[in-house]
Structure 1
């Protein structure tokens, strides 16, 4: 469980503790006194192994933070999401690098069930703000993962990154019918926090935002519940708010060959071992859908609602037979069924690793739920994977009568953090 906030021994304290500046006291708030500047690197040395008292089941146990790839991508999808996109408000490259170092140090602690900073929520100097907000004290790690990505807008002329923008991070085209709201789209940096406990996920995002004060500001964020995809064969396929199993043909962490081919970026640049994330907030007109006949709902998706089997099949994972016809001579799966339009066989063998969540953001003031799907898909190159699939769906999918895309994001997610001397995006700034 997260630490009790006891004050560290003298040898672990920041030597400048007795002469804190006004910036450290009131403006930094970043990771408390100990995480300022070079202290952020020292803080990483304080990351410890999770305590033995921590529950070992998958719901509460920690997920390893260090590795070749970032956690939170092929990690078995957790139940809750807090996704946030930040704008960088400093124009100083050194401050951005320092922020990423501090964030990485905090993330290494948080994902192991510890507090964001060395002093914790109640162990630092009383005249300084705590370096953890405290609402997750006594809660286990809850399989928290924190995954970071860099948006196209980060690669302008502010930080000398213009020439380092990957070709695969090309702006998405405008798709027919989308109604994007600029204020909840884009962003310089994204953080995806997934956990089995929503308070743990929210706590992590809150503390990263606190650490980033004065260097980043929140552009938009999204809470999600009830994962809509399985990323492991050990997980049952969940349902979206339309009642259908979602992402049956998703890439899974067990699909080593397919992951190498369709998920992880290759080459010798800073993105090798990373991946690309597309997000779309898709609002559903729930009330209209709920008045649609079962036969029409199943025809639109091309699947049986209860079993999830492709029409004409018997079980969820039966391969769809797009040539099979019913007694009336018509295809079991209509030419414009969602399953047909999105299938890899109709999109140049494009596979995606989907990691979406349901959302309900209250009502719209007109007696309708503001609800739908927060879609997230990881892939090796959005130009050859997400773009052709979404183009086909935007043009022909009858599901468009019941949904609208209101937010969009595109992010380059760097490879994993290898050890305590590494940090998110280090190779980009090398």
Structure 2
């Protein structure tokens, strides 16, 4: 298929829903679902450790991402909140309530109680610090501005971004993942409640992932996601691509930098495309997940293969080619994304025939962990945002970047190294 055969771009653009990128079979890879005990509802993932859980942990079926803004001006309040969060997170990942339940029913309930009896469900809770924790409007808020890692950059505006302020930015991130949606939401809900007076909710997003255990899950576009992720079992690969080792921020040693993007997909248009065209967009077979020209999902991507007319078998503007490690100076990220479905919204098309209609508000919560976004997410997404054929169907409407510190030690708290004097 030549470029002239592709459907015209303007047919797909929506008001407030222009082009976006950085999602799909190669750039939005998803690890296989978590392998747990016979009953995943009672699986337990340790909270304390060298690294935070929820990064290389096998992916659970549900997530709730909550992002908060700090409203306190006191450093001690921030430390007290992180201590409280650490204790509560350790309890909830064991399947306990966020705080011990009091015997006196006249006291305020310390936990909403909506997951009593549900089990830990493989819950992991991952915390991240946004740029606003360090400075706001040029002001050193908590005496830690000089400890902001150089890798924690403000993301540039990418071509086609349609970011909504209420779904972007934030000082503190909570990523709760579990095998049960209520367990994930409960965890984020309790932690946000503990922040009252010191922090307030900025935005939140629920997500899900479906697929047979041990197999690569499919996204809402019907393609397998996760084939080309760096292997989490390879410690050397994780040190190279995921774990931070910045000399300018020793408190981040063993942490990671996480980019979160909310990407809306115009499913109505995608569903009306022929399968052959969809495969050209991705650069992969839809049913098998194999790279174009290959037979099996995990066959290596061959960017040099030509069709019988001498054209690249994997199109120049396909998602797989543009996001492939070979096209990006060897850069890779660990993608741990989720689909989302927030019902429907009313939209007006910008181009003829200017239809007005109600469409799905559904898409992808793109989550990528990396050792340095300056050499991974930013250059890769800049290329995708300009050239990816998938831009006809996707729009980035939410965004955030966070420094996720290493795991906490028992008796300490998450991010303790940042506040150590």
Q: TM-score range by the shorter chain?
A: 0.7 to 0.9
- Do the aligned residues in 1 keep the contact of 2:149 with 2:246 (CA within 8 Å)? no
Deviation at 1:352, TM superposition (A): 0.6
Larger radius of gyration: 1
Deviation at 1:132, TM superposition (A): 1.1
Show the counterpart of 1:83: 65
Helix, strand or coil at the partner of 2:209? strand
Show the counterpart of 1:287: 268
Show the counterpart of 1:96: 78
Deviation at 1:227, TM superposition (A): 5.9
Show the counterpart of 2:183: 200
Deviation at 1:395, TM superposition (A): 0.6
- Do the aligned residues in 1 keep the contact of 2:65 with 2:174 (CA within 8 Å)? yes
Q: Residues 205-256 of structure 1: CA distance to partner in whole angstroms, max 9, x if unpaired?
A: 111111111111000000001169x9xxx73111111101112101232121
Q: When the two structures are superposed, what TM-score results if normalisation uses the length of structure 2?
A: 0.85
Which segments of 5 or more consecutive residues in structure 2 lack a partner in the other structure?
Answer: 1-35, 347-356
> Which of residues 110, 117, 123 is equivalent to 1:144?
123
Paired with 1:124 and 1:281, the residues of 2 have a C-alpha distance of 42
| Equivalent runs, 1:214-293 vs 2, <5 Å | 214-226=197-209, 235-267=214-246, 269-293=250-274
Q: Residues 132-185 of structure 1: CA distance to partner in whole angstroms, max 9, x if unpaired?
A: 110010111000000000000111111111111000001111111111111110
Which structure has more relative contact order (CA 8 Å, sep 6+)? It is: 2
1:423 aligns with 2:413: yes
1:382 aligns with 2:376: no
| Equivalent runs, 1:58-137 vs 2, <5 Å | 58-118=40-100, 120=101, 123-137=102-116
Deviation at 1:267, TM superposition (A): 4.4
Paired with 1:57 and 1:253, the residues of 2 have a C-alpha distance of 24
Helix, strand or coil at the partner of 1:62? coil
| Equivalent runs, 1:130-209 vs 2, <5 Å | 130-156=109-135, 157-209=140-192
Paired with 1:185 and 1:70, the residues of 2 have a C-alpha distance of 23
- Do the aligned residues in 2 keep the contact of 1:77 with 1:227 (CA within 8 Å)? no
Show the counterpart of 1:26: none
> What is the number of residues matched between the two proteins?
369
Paired with 2:210 and 2:203, the residues of 1 have a C-alpha distance of 20
- Do the aligned residues in 2 keep the contact of 1:227 with 1:356 (CA within 8 Å)? no
In structure 2, the CA distance between the partners of 1:102 and 1:69, relative to structure 1 (3 Å rule), is: same
Paired with 1:161 and 1:235, the residues of 2 have a C-alpha distance of 43
Show the counterpart of 1:18: none
1:311 aligns with 2:299: no
CA RMSD in angstroms, aligned pairs only? 1.6
- Do the aligned residues in 1 keep the contact of 2:257 with 2:372 (CA within 8 Å)? yes
Paired with 1:227 and 1:147, the residues of 2 have a C-alpha distance of 21
Helix, strand or coil at the partner of 2:151? helix
**Runs of 4 or more off by more than 4 Å in structure 1?**
54-59
Deviation at 1:127, TM superposition (A): 3.0
Show the counterpart of 1:349: 330
- Do the aligned residues in 2 keep the contact of 1:355 with 1:376 (CA within 8 Å)? yes
- Do the aligned residues in 2 keep the contact of 1:55 with 1:140 (CA within 8 Å)? no
Show the counterpart of 1:28: none
- Do the aligned residues in 2 keep the contact of 1:92 with 1:159 (CA within 8 Å)? yes
- Do the aligned residues in 2 keep the contact of 1:239 with 1:246 (CA within 8 Å)? yes
Deviation at 1:327, TM superposition (A): 2.0
Paired with 2:54 and 2:103, the residues of 1 have a C-alpha distance of 31
Show the counterpart of 2:352: none
Q: When the two structures are superposed, what TM-score results if normalisation uses the length of structure 1?
A: 0.83
- Do the aligned residues in 2 keep the contact of 1:71 with 1:145 (CA within 8 Å)? yes
Helix, strand or coil at the partner of 2:157? coil
1:298 aligns with 2:279: yes
1:329 aligns with 2:279: no
Q: Residues 51-81 of structure 1: CA distance to partner in whole angstroms, max 9, x if unpaired?
A: xxx9764452110111000000000000001
Paired with 2:311 and 2:373, the residues of 1 have a C-alpha distance of 34
Q: Residues 355-384 of structure 1: CA distance to partner in whole angstroms, max 9, x if unpaired?
A: 110001110033211000010000000000
Paired with 2:416 and 2:404, the residues of 1 have a C-alpha distance of 12
Helix, strand or coil at the partner of 1:201? helix
